[in-house]
Amino acid sequence: MLTRKRYRIPLPGGRTLELGERTLVMGILNVTPDSFSDGGVHLDPARAIEAGLRMAEAGADILDVGGESTRPGADPAGGDEEMRRVLPVIEGLAGRTPALISIDTYRGVVAREAAARGAAIVNDVSGLQYDAELGAAAAETGAALILMHTRGRSREMYERAVYEHVVAEVTQELADAMKRAVDAGVARDAVILDPGFGFAKRAEHSYTLLAHLDALAALDRPLLSGPSRKSFLREALGDRPPLERDWGTAAAVAASVLAGAHIVRVHNVRAMIDVVRVCDRLQSLKP
């Protein structure tokens, strides 16, 4: 187990996000027709808002609202459609829950509009590779910025999943993403890093990264781990659909927390809260 460093992340309005004392849980709220696990379930804004409020009541610290599926092979929704899906949900959640709201987008225009409606965090699956305006949007709004590792777009990412030393290469490419953010005006203190399990990675790459997640501590930024229901879990579980991977997700979440993750991003908030609480109890006994 890795002793977890504490960080204070600046947020809009002079607020801060304290990371490290306990593991925070980010609930996944997909407002899409085609996400791999729950596509179509929350397309209606009212239904999505109620689902977000239930996640917060179950203990979610952050609600991550996404309007475009980034699963391998997914088609882009377009910025206007993405905003049509997510902005009413963010507006409906803002002020109704103490949970922070995160916008899962790689588009600068979406990030700006989401921040104007209450989002405090931008969760970028591209690591600032898809839209040059996103870094500036995060800097101007004061939102915290999560940079995830990937290579290529959704339709080509598996073709780019070629590594000699996956941990070293992902570490370096996350460092490159962080430099892009700082060059765009984002404060280094506002950056959170995500190794991107399943994105431009074969199952063996994701398992290797999870086994060596503590190596990313060398980047001196808080870590988000998002293994929830991902396809790499099938290598150990067998060919099960996403909704039947929660036990495998629980194991990956536990491994993440014990390796030093500051935030875990999950679908089943209520169940994973229990996993996190037990692992945090173990973390608290370390010197």
Close Cβ partners of 182 (under 8 Å, ≥ 6 residues apart)? 188, 191
Q: What pLDDT is stored for residue 79 in this prediction? A: 85
pLDDT of residue 201: 96
CA–CA distances in Å: residue 93 to residues 26, 34, 176, 190, 227? 15, 22, 34, 23, 25
Q: How confident is the model at residue 155 (pLDDT cuts 50, 70, 90)?
A: confident
Task: Give the predicted TM-score (pTM) of the model.
Answer: 0.94
CATH number of 7-282: 3.20.20.20
Question: Is the separation of the CB atoms in 103 and 122 below 8 Å?
Answer: yes
Domain ranges of the chain: 7-282
Q: What is the pLDDT of residues 21-60, one digit of tens each?
A: 999 999 999 998 744 444 445 568 899 999 999 999 999 9
pLDDT tens digits for 185-229?
999 999 999 999 999 999 999 999 999 999 999 999 999 999 999
Q: Which residues are catalytic?
A: 230, 265
CA pair distance 139, 244, nearest whole angstrom: 39
* CA nearest to 105, candidates 81, 253, 14, 96: 81
Single-letter code of the amino acid located at 29: L
Res 263 pLDDT > 70: yes
